[in-house]
Amino acid sequence: MKRHLILLTILLFAALTSLAQTSLPTNLKGVTIFSNGAQVTREKNVALNAGEQTVSFTGLSPYLDRNSLQVKAKGSVTVLGVSQRYIRPDSTMLSERLKAASRDIDVASRRLSELQAQRTVLKSQLQMVEANCNIGSRTAVTPLNDIKLLNKYYYEEMMDINKKLIALDTEEEKANAELARYNEIADSIAGIKLKRITVVDVKVDAKVQTSALFTLQYYVSGASWYPTYDVRSSKVDEPLQLTYKANIMQQTGEDWKDVNVTLSTANPNRSNVSPDLRTYWLDYGLAAPTYNFGLDNNQVSGTIYDAEDGSPLIGASVTVSGSQIGTISDVDGRYSITMPNGNRRLVASYIGYESQQATVTGNRKDFRLKPDVAMLQDVVVVGYGTSSKGGWLRRKSSNSAAVEMAEPTAAASDSKQQKARVLVDEDDLVVASTAAKFGYEFEVKHPLTILSNNKPVSAQLGRYELPTTYAYKGVPKIDKDAFLVADATGWGELNLVEGEAMVFYDNSYVGKTILSPVESDTLHLSLGRDNGIQIERKLIKNNSVHKVLSGNQTQQKDWEISVRNTRSEKVSIKVYDQVPVSQNSDITVTTEELSDGNFNKETGIVVWNLELNPGESRKLRLRYQVKYPKNRRLDIE
């Protein structure tokens, strides 16, 4: 009860504070959404009296960064100071509800006390009757008829008292249930997270009566966007189609309706301090200085929980640290994301909770987010909105960080001069590319609606047709299947952002990959297995021998690789195998048969470039000899 009174006092104070000054709603002018956070611009034209006065603006996000707040006034007015405060518009209504619940608790408590007092009196009466009905303590002889009358009297009295006690049990049970219900109502009111609204007070000095246009700009957390791609191929003689999408979401506590949106790859939260090398002290027992190097990984999935009650968090954001790659958790709190090479840091965040960053060490990573104490009262639930179609979109770009990629194939290099073709439908957004200093910007000319519910709004940024060459790749030592690989060129001019790509071939989903913008103009994509190409690798035992001569022993390995094209069209395929490479001068490896394969002596890799007609088969031989001292043991495949 004391806690309810304290909360009631707080609610009354908040209500009085909210009513203390009239606030002016602002008009949303534009939003720039970063990979983590957003910059919001609002405007309001205000009529001013002559002299010093304070203008209050409301409708701002409760999560804005006060250090980022900028206020400008256009007109014959001088801004003297800017301050920020919070109001809770629901506090008055909640205080009235809590008052009513407290009154009900008082009435139910008094009723329960009265019933308990009645029980005490009835028990005393029962004890008195029981004491008086004991005839053994009487000194005089009581006639039998009197004893019968006494027994009847005491029986009736005790039965009446016990019936009243039984009735009291039912009444007390009802009173306890009613008191518990009222307490539960009061607790539920006390547990309501009040919607908090930011109010900005601007003190100004106007020389004369005038009007001024105020512009408020601030950074707010709880907003993000990340790119995804659809890569589609219908046939091996047709170009790839690349669809570029932006997935936008926000839970900033303010709805963005019909607003001009700019998407930016810049990260205002990223440190801009250049790294410094530490002295590399060398001595026995000293380790070299370590820095934050990235590590390899691929597909990672997991679940995001509330750390307090263990419930799954729906719509929590998961991003790869320092990149544009991201996703959100589903209705069960589960997520799945593809990690790029060289980065194993994931960041999980949810509005009202502390963000958590972790290094991924396996294919599963769960997060347990702790509520942010400073934001516990700030959860707002609103409806769901979709993006509008149409409109113009302009993109600004700059060079992004390079990520190492395999060398393009010869076939791809031949078509490198070809350019990507922009595909435009009636409802598509048109994209134009220009250079900018800090990453890419996508300025959406058509207004969008993005509600504060953390549900992604998808916007198509462009569709392109990429010149493509196709070839099959086979590595029978590891996998007997052939893989169709596409090398697409001309995409380097599109200034794409690193992100997940969904790959489709012949209208079938193949899987996911990472599309990384690099200086190379060739994009390598694996389109999946093709059972129409049959590959078999077997050891010819009759030709694989082990001999011991003089002070050395030799082992000879002879492999036969069979490749068959069962498809109805001619195919190109690269078949890969290897010869062991010696790291010891006592071990000598000699190649004896390569079937005209291209042999790299440094890596031991042998590559055969084959052109197979429909139904054609080809046999390849890989034979080599290993010589080493007879007193040593060497494991050879």
Give the tens place of pLDDT for each residue, 35-69.
Answer: 889 999 999 999 999 999 999 998 888 888 877 89
- Which tokens in the block code for residue 541? 């035992």
pLDDT at position 392: 34
Amino acid 78: pLDDT? 92
Tokens 């669809």 found at: 243
Residue 582's pLDDT band (cuts 50, 70, 90): very high
Q: Say whether pLDDT at 441 is over 90.
A: no
Give 510's pLDDT tier (boundaries 50, 70, 90): confident
- How would you classify the pairing of strands 552-565 and 546-549? antiparallel
Task: Tell me the per-residue pLDDT of 360-381, one tens digit each, with 9 for 90 and over.
Answer: 888 889 999 998 865 444 433 3
Reduced DSSP (H G I as helix, E B as strand, rest coil) percent helix, strand, coil of the chain, to 5 = 20, 45, 35
Give the per-residue pLDDT at 105.
81
Q: pLDDT-based confidence at 159, cuts 50/70/90? A: confident
What integer pLDDT is reported at residue 15 of this predicted model? 44
Of the ranges 366-380, 396-410, 543-557, which is most confident? 543-557
Does 77 or 519 have the greater pLDDT score? 77
| CA separation for the pair 85, 148 (Å, rounded) | 84
Q: Where are the domains of the chain?
A: 2-90+194-220, 92-190, 224-468, 540-629
The whole-number pLDDT of residue 73 equals 93
Residue at token pair 């303590």: 137
Q: Which CATH number fits domain 224-468: 2.160.10.10, 2.102.10.10, 2.60.40.1120, 1.10.3720.10?
A: 2.60.40.1120
Query: What pLDDT was estimated at residue 135?
Result: 57
CB atoms within 10 A of CB 216: 22
User: Residue range 233-242: average pLDDT?
Assistant: 86
Task: Indicate the DSSP class of residue 137.
Answer: G
The C-alpha atoms of residue 465 and residue 476 are separated, in whole angstroms, by: 33
Q: Are 609 and 596 in contact (CB under 8 A)?
A: no
> What pLDDT score was predicted for residue 131?
76
Return the pLDDT at 507.
85
Tell me: pLDDT of 273 over 90. no
What's residue 474's pLDDT? Answer: 94
The predicted structure's pLDDT at residue 17: 42
pLDDT at 274 over 70: no
pLDDT of residue 21: 46
Tokens of 511: 């899987």
What's the whole-number mean pLDDT along residues 181-201?
72
CA-CA distance, 456 to 228, in Å (whole number)? Answer: 12
Grade residue 189 by pLDDT with cuts at 50, 70 and 90.
low
pLDDT for 406 beyond 50: no
Q: Are 493 and 422 in contact (CB under 8 A)?
A: no
User: Residues 303-340: pLDDT tens digits?
Assistant: 999 998 888 898 889 998 888 888 888 767 889 888 77
Q: What is the chain's mean pLDDT, rounded?
A: 79
Contact 241/423 with Cβ under 8 angstroms?
yes
Question: How much of the chain, in percent, has pLDDT values that exceed 90?
Answer: 29
The residue count of the chain comes to 637
DSSP 58-78: EEE-TTB-GGG-EEEEESSEE
User: Lowest mean pLDDT: which of 23-27, 120-124, 284-288, 532-536?
Assistant: 284-288
Task: Report the distance separating Cα 169 and Cα 240, nearest Å.
Answer: 80
Using DSSP's 3-state secondary structure scheme, residue 155 falls into: helix
Measure the CA–CA gap between 250 and 452, rounded to whole angstroms. Answer: 5
Per-residue tokens: 534: 């049959």
Tell me the pLDDT band of 173, cut-offs 50, 70 and 90.
confident
Tell me the mean pLDDT in the region 385-390: 34
Q: Which residues contact 352 (CB under 8 A, 6 or more apart)?
A: 371, 372, 375, 376, 378, 379
* Average pLDDT of span 602-629: 93
| C-beta of residue 431 within 8 angstroms of C-beta of residue 392 | no
On whether the CB atoms of residues 78 and 63 are closer than 8 A, the answer is no
